[in-house]
């Protein structure tokens, strides 16, 4: 059974992983290999597609497989990708509006705040994560992020 604490731990692990990718990139270390491990640990691509709609994806809005997710986080085979995790970010904070738990599936929604290590600027992004319990670990099976509505 999924618990609130498991969701919080998964979100903390996700944030630490994104920050670590950027740190490794800045230090000219093997950030790509770390990103591959991060995606395998956090996302459930091993069992098939993940419904991933990243924040800064416009031309290729949905990243349904591992290679597309990797491209989004570190740049690669999709032209628009500059590497979201390469910013780098010095802090990521989740502000959860609510969680729903259904046996082996959980949904979490709210805002998360990304603070740039370069500028110190913080941006707010809306998120919905759907987790599946795989063994004793939560894995993301759906991830939607978007910038808040700014008017028509």
Write down the pLDDT at residue 151.
79
CA pair distance 75, 82, nearest whole angstrom: 5
Domains along the chain? 4-146 (3.10.450.50)
Write down the pLDDT at residue 11.
98
Q: Are 69 and 43 in contact (CB under 8 A)?
A: yes
Binned average pLDDT, 10 residues per bin, the chain of 152 residues: 97 98 98 98 97 93 97 95 96 98 97 97 98 97 94 76
| Adjacent-strand bridge partners of 124 | 113
């Amino acid at each position: 059974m999924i618990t609130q604490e498991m969701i919080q731990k998964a979100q903390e692990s996700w944030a630490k992983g994104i920050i670590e990718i950027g740190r490794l990139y800045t230090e000219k270390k093997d950030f790509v290999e770390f990103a591959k491990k991060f995606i395998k640990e956090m996302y459930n691509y091993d069992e098939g597609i993940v419904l991933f709609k990243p924040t800064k994806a416009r031309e290729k809005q949905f990243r349904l497989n591992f290679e597309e997710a990797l491209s989004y986080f570190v740049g690669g085979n999709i032209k628009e990708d500059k590497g979201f995790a390469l910013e780098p970010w010095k802090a990521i904070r989740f502000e959860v509006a609510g969680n729903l738990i259904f046996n082996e599936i959980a949904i979490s929604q709210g805002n998360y705040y990304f603070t740039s290590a370069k500028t110190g600027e913080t941006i707010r992004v809306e998120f919905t994560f759907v987790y599946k319990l795989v063994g004793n670990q939560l894995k993301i099976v759906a991830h939607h992020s978007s910038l808040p509505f700014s008017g028509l």
